[in-house]
Amino acid sequence: MILLIDAGNSRIKWTLQGEKHMGVLPVEEAGNLLGQLGDVQGIREIWASNVAGELIAQTIRDAAAQLAVEVHFIVAQKSQCGVHNGYANPAQLGCDRWAAMIAAWQLVKGTCLVVSSGTATTIDALSASGEFQGGLILPGVTLMRHSLYGATAQLHAAPGEYAVFPKNTADALYSGALQASCGAIDRQYAQLEDDSAPIVLSGGAAAVLRDRLKQPLLVVDNLVLQGLYLISQEKK
């Protein structure tokens, strides 16, 4: 059995491949990972995508040591699982983006836009032959709102609702962040020049973005975890 771990900026998601066990915990509670797993037997290795820093990496190593198994932290490669990395320095591409693109390629096997909407929103383009053509990174919907709260004295944190023409500040902040994200996705999608290509959408904000996007959509939970599993199998 393989334990797959996606350690993001805000949350750690994990699953046991071949089982229905799955969990999510805040990064500040990473030390509770083994407690969440419970009395699980048969884990033989761990594969992890970590963008949460060295402290979280060490926490995962400590968990692996307690389980007496090897942990593999993935790094973006020049080519892997049918995807070819167009980054100037392939290893500098975020490992979570790399895993997400590998999972998206396995699902689509063609041109697509891979959008992960978490703390940050990443928008990555794959060609019909599996070439990563490049991508954008921008603040996620929640981070955009919170950055304005923190930098503007007269704005106060409050939930908002989407409106085409908002008539209160909370709605204006929420709608602005949502429209900015959708606008970036729309502009990148237009560069694909293929109206049949899907957007493969995942992440915590997928539910609010999906209703504002008009392109073909494939909404996938746990895209990074799926990519991790594909990588683990290619390495065997």
Sign of CA dihedral 124, 127, 129, 133: negative
First-to-final CA distance of the chain: 14
Give which of 203, 81, 198, 79 is closest to 137, Cα–Cα: 203
DSSP summary character for residue 120: E
CA distance 76 to 124: 14
Provide the annotated active-site residues.
96
In angstroms, the CA 31 to CA 26 distance is 10
A 10 A CB-CB count for 42 gives 9
